[in-house]
Structure 1
Amino acid sequence: MAEIQLRNLTKRWGSFVGVDKFDLTIRDREFLVLLGPSGCGKTTTMRMVAGLEDATEGEILIDGKRVNDLDPKDRDVAMVFQSYALYPNMNVYENIRFPLRVRRIDPATHDERVRRASAMVELDDFLHRKPAELSGGQRQRVALARAIVREPNVFLMDEPLSNLDAKLRVSTRAQIKNLSHELKVTTIYVTHDQIEAMTLADRVVVMKKGVVQQVGSPTEIYDRPANAFVASFIGSPAMNLMSGQVTGGTFTADRVAIDGVGAPDGPVTLGFRAEDASVVEGGGQINAPIYTMELLGDATMIAVRIGGALVSVKADKTYRAAIGDMVSVAVPSDHVHLFDATTGERIDG
């Protein structure tokens, strides 16, 4: 049992606010992802939970017990960092075993626990090797096994996949997903990669400049972003956002006219996802020359320029055209998202 409560957690350095009034309960066994760009406060939040940073204000409770004044070693959390932090003079077996020795766990249990942890991350054939003889993905798995072997109350993972190449990232992500299902340990995972967040999380916390923008399941955040920032950060490609004007239920911008928009007259930001629009023969809501085209294998991604923004549309994989050709794009009004032109907050029409 490891419920974590963060109550108005704040971190300041002088006048700079790194995390501002972070207030959230992380449920027992939940996999929570902190997502946002560099400098948004996600790693600082996790380091405060770990005890590596002192909170300026607010409280951290693990299982109802206030841990603000406890040393990291007394909080029963295990961390996996972006850098693997392995001991080069020890083989894989001893690296995994190290936390058990430091914590003076009964030596009679070490071998069984090390081998169970190594099996979970498929390292049984590498236990005799030194870190220098391993690939980046294997080293990251050693770091994961070293955290698993402790059997902690809480896992804290800080961008653990960012040093891996794209293919390894996919396979290691799958491994972490499977481990979280098997181990059922409360996990806080920090990343700037929204694909990691969408695939791993039970809930996602999107942060910007130290402030929580939205908390919800990946589906909720994808389908109903709370503001234009969240909309622009989630999705691959990100949601298209266009500045324009609503007059009598019609949104207009350069080369754009979309009827049936439920917003008061005035300036708005309109968004839609690439997969919700389609290329048509004519009569679409957007008519513009193709700016660029990318063949993705399963689809063709077309982009047109609207004002200062690039707007992406997913077409059929067989679609072919040249840059500069005029294209007509249908945008269903029931798939658009509207945001306040000034604050960026969602408008529910």
Structure 2
Amino acid sequence: MAEVQLRHIDKRWGDFVGVKDFDLTIPDKEFLVLLGPSGCGKSTTMRMIAGLEDATSGDILIGGKVVNDLEPKDRDVAMVFQSYALYPNMTVYENIRFPLKVRHIDPATHDEKVMRAAEMVELTDFLHRRPADLSGGQRQRVALARAIVREPNVFLMDEPLSNLDAKLRVSTRAQIKNLSHELQITTIYVTHDQIEAMTLADRVVVMSAGNVQQVGTPTEIYNYPANTFVASFIGSPAMNLVKGTISNGVFTAENMTIRGLDTALSGDITLGFRAEDAEVNPVGSAPDVTEISGIKANVFSIELLGEATMITLKIGDALVAVKAGKDYSTEIGHVFSTNIPASICHLFDASTGLRLNNGSQSE
């Protein structure tokens, strides 16, 4: 059993708070992703679990045992770093084998364990090479194999893909996803890349400035962001957020009118919607904004994505993205209109940023 419990963990350096009241239980075999921008406290949280940082207050439990006072080597966790941390003078085989030697595992079992770990990450043809002779993706797979060979209770992965190019990130991400399914070991993964979080995680913890903003499955966080920070951080592109006013169920902003919203709300508000949810009107069809529930504005920019065309509009100070079909054709400066049903809108408090509606307006 490798359940991990973080009980009201704080980390402070003098007056600076790195992590504030982090309280979460990570069930056995769960793949949990800590997601947020640089400096949000996600790596600090992981380092406290690993024993590389001491918690200022709170308890860390692994498998039901408090580990605050245990050395990193005694916590039965394996960590994969962003920098690979391989020994340049050792072959791939010896790099993978090294944790077994350090932990005094029976040498008679080493070869079988190394070969099994190498096979899992498709490195059996590279065992004789040294790290300098490998690509970035291969080096990261050596680091993964070195963690696997230990057979730990918990995997800790700190931005393991950030040094790889885009193509290698995709393939190595698939490798990690497959390994997670095969090994069934509790995994805590740190990243600033929301695509990694969405594709890998059973649950995601979104963090900002040391605080947990939301915990949920990727689907929950994408469909029902708890606040404007989460809404603006999750999704590619991020959710559109437009400040305006609402009265009698009608939201208004520059070149934008949305009808059919909650009639109980009034005053300043932030309205959100996703680029793929808006309904694009045909080219040349641009009814007056006062007659529709949507946007009518001039095209600010156009991006051809292959499978779609991304149209950007400027609504007040906000840039708003709308995803049109791949064959949609227009030009910068031309009039563009889109329908935005109330059912796809997310409403947030203008001052606190907190979510006001529980789900789509149609629910």
| TM category, shorter | over 0.9
Q: How does 1:4-43 map to 2 (within 5 A)?
A: 4-43=4-43
Indicate the residue corresponding to 2:213 in structure 1. 213
Structure 1 residue 88 and structure 2 residue 88: aligned? Answer: yes
Tell me, in whole angstroms, the C-alpha distance in 1 between the residues paired with 2:299 and 2:215.
36
1:242-287, CA deviations, whole angstroms, 9 ceiling, x for partnerless residues? 0000011100000000001115110000000000002212335100
Other structure's SS at 1:275 match: coil
Unaligned runs of 5+ in 1: none
Tell me, in whole angstroms, the C-alpha distance in 2 between the residues paired with 1:323 and 1:339.
30
Unaligned runs of 5+ in 2: none
Indicate the residue corresponding to 2:44 in structure 1. 44
Q: Give the Å deviation of 1:301.
A: 0.4
Tell me, in whole angstroms, the C-alpha distance in 1 between the residues paired with 2:156 and 2:204.
15
Q: How does 1:105-184 map to 2 (within 5 A)?
A: 105-184=105-184
Q: Is contact 2:11-2:19 (8 Å) kept?
A: yes
1:142-191, CA deviations, whole angstroms, 9 ceiling, x for partnerless residues? 00000000000000000000000000000000000000000000000000
- The correspondence for 1:328, drawn from 326, 334, 337, is 337
Q: Give the Å deviation of 1:88.
A: 0.5
Indicate the residue corresponding to 1:248 in structure 2. 248
1:68-124, CA deviations, whole angstroms, 9 ceiling, x for partnerless residues? 000000000000000011000000000000000000000000000000000000000
Tell me, in whole angstroms, the C-alpha distance in 1 between the residues paired with 2:85 and 2:30.
26
Indicate the residue corresponding to 2:274 in structure 1. 273
Tell me, in whole angstroms, the C-alpha distance in 2 between the residues paired with 1:219 and 1:275.
15
Structure 1 residue 282 and structure 2 residue 286: aligned? Answer: yes
Q: Is contact 2:286-2:335 (8 Å) kept?
A: no
Moved more, 18-27 or 258-267: 258-267
1:301-341, CA deviations, whole angstroms, 9 ceiling, x for partnerless residues? 00000111110000010001110001011111100000000
Tell me, in whole angstroms, the C-alpha distance in 2 between the residues paired with 1:7 and 1:50.
15
Tell me, in whole angstroms, the C-alpha distance in 2 between the residues paired with 1:307 and 1:116.
58
Indicate the residue corresponding to 2:239 in structure 1. 239
Which of structure 1's runs of 4+ aligned residues deviate more than 2 A?
Answer: 281-284
Moved more, 28-37 or 256-265: 256-265
Other structure's SS at 1:346 match: coil
Q: Give the Å deviation of 1:61.
A: 0.6
Tell me, in whole angstroms, the C-alpha distance in 1 between the residues paired with 2:321 and 2:279.
10
Q: Give the Å deviation of 1:64.
A: 1.0
Structure 1 residue 347 and structure 2 residue 348: aligned? Answer: no
Compute the TM-score of the two structures, normalised by the length of structure 1.
0.99
Tell me, in whole angstroms, the C-alpha distance in 2 between the residues paired with 1:241 and 1:99.
49
Other structure's SS at 1:313 match: strand
1:38-90, CA deviations, whole angstroms, 9 ceiling, x for partnerless residues? 00000000000000000000000111110000000000000000001100000
Tell me, in whole angstroms, the C-alpha distance in 2 between the residues paired with 1:141 and 1:203.
24
- The correspondence for 1:295, drawn from 304, 315, 324, is 304
Tell me, in whole angstroms, the C-alpha distance in 2 between the residues paired with 1:311 and 1:55.
42
Q: Is contact 2:247-2:267 (8 Å) kept?
A: yes
C-alpha root-mean-square deviation of aligned residues, in Å?
Answer: 0.7
Count of residues in correspondence between the two structures: 349
Indicate the residue corresponding to 1:227 in structure 2. 227
Q: Percent identity?
A: 74
Tell me, in whole angstroms, the C-alpha distance in 1 between the residues paired with 2:115 and 2:302.
50
Q: How does 1:192-211 map to 2 (within 5 A)?
A: 192-211=192-211
Tell me, in whole angstroms, the C-alpha distance in 1 between the residues paired with 2:48 and 2:98.
24
Opposite residue 303 of structure 1, the aligned amino acid is T
Tell me, in whole angstroms, the C-alpha distance in 1 between the residues paired with 2:165 and 2:194.
16
